[in-house]
Amino acid sequence: MRAEVFADRLGWEVHVENGREIDRFDCEGPLYLLSLDEQSGALRGAVRLLPTTGPNMLRDVFQVLMPGGAVESPLIWESSRFAVNPRILQAEDRHEANHTLNRTTIELLCGIVEVCQRAGIEHVVSVFDARMARIFRSIECRFEQLGTPTRIGRTMTYAGLFDMSDEMRATLGSSGDLLAPVLTPEPPVGENR
């Protein structure tokens, strides 16, 4: 899915190996959140989370956005490789496809807040394009802009800091009608997922 989104659809210069987009940060022990279709189990979207105390994209790839240095704290994680499966848009019913796309986006954002709250993480930093900035604003997903937005390739690129508060979760939940927790509870030790 990441190869389809970042290489094929967005045209980014990313490494694709055997049909999979991977980068060095996938080797840093990240946490991945997945959105799955409840009926079919098909992957609808995903996001990657990494601590800012180790290698991360803002500090190590997008330094131009933070000339004074990127944020680093055990209480701040970075989200990256946020992607919604482009195959959703191939559905015959365009209205239903857009609904699923929006719901998946909000579900992943709710999941980020929930996992951070469970782990005691107070903020998430992320690099995103102008399209995502518009989406964040439309669903009232407020962020503090860090550094100076910069054109990278063909797109205006931003760095933002997001509060992982109860207020943020409530706002996102209201935007997507996702008031109940979205994270699947962990199975007891010894049970398969």
To the nearest whole percent, how much of the chain has pLDDT over 90?
68
- Asked if the structure places residue 153 within a domain, the reply is yes
- Asked if the structure places residue 185 within a domain, the reply is no
Mean pLDDT computed over every residue of the chain: 90
More confident residue, 151 or 193: 151
pLDDT of residue 163: 98
Domain count across the chain: 1
* pLDDT band, very low/low/confident/very high, at 90 (cuts 50, 70, 90): confident
Tokens of 125: 């930093």
pLDDT of residue 88: 82
HEC readout, 129-160:
EHHHHHHHHHCCCCCEEEEEEEEECCEEEEEE
Residue 186 and residue 164: Cα distance in Å, rounded? 21
- Asked if the structure places residue 186 within a domain, the reply is no
Domain that holds residue 114: 31-176
Tokens 């690129």 found at: 157
Residue 102 and residue 170: Cα distance in Å, rounded? 17
Residue 91 and residue 77: Cα distance in Å, rounded? 34
- Asked if the structure places residue 3 within a domain, the reply is no
Instruction: State the DSSP code for 6.
Output: I
Instruction: State the DSSP code for 105.
Output: H
More confident residue, 9 or 115: 115
Instruction: State the DSSP code for 176.
Output: H
Q: Is the overall model pTM greater than 0.85, yes or no?
A: yes
More confident residue, 121 or 87: 121
Mean per-residue pLDDT, 136-161: 92
pLDDT of residue 187: 58
- Asked if the structure places residue 4 within a domain, the reply is no
CATH number at 157 reads 3.40.630.30
- Asked if the structure places residue 189 within a domain, the reply is no
* pLDDT band, very low/low/confident/very high, at 193 (cuts 50, 70, 90): very low
- Using a 10 angstrom Cβ sphere, with 0-12 exposed, 13-18 middle and 19 or more buried, the burial of residue 92 is exposed
Residues 6+ apart with CB under 8 A from 144: 160, 161, 162
- Asked if the structure places residue 97 within a domain, the reply is yes
- Asked if the structure places residue 187 within a domain, the reply is no
pLDDT of residue 159: 96
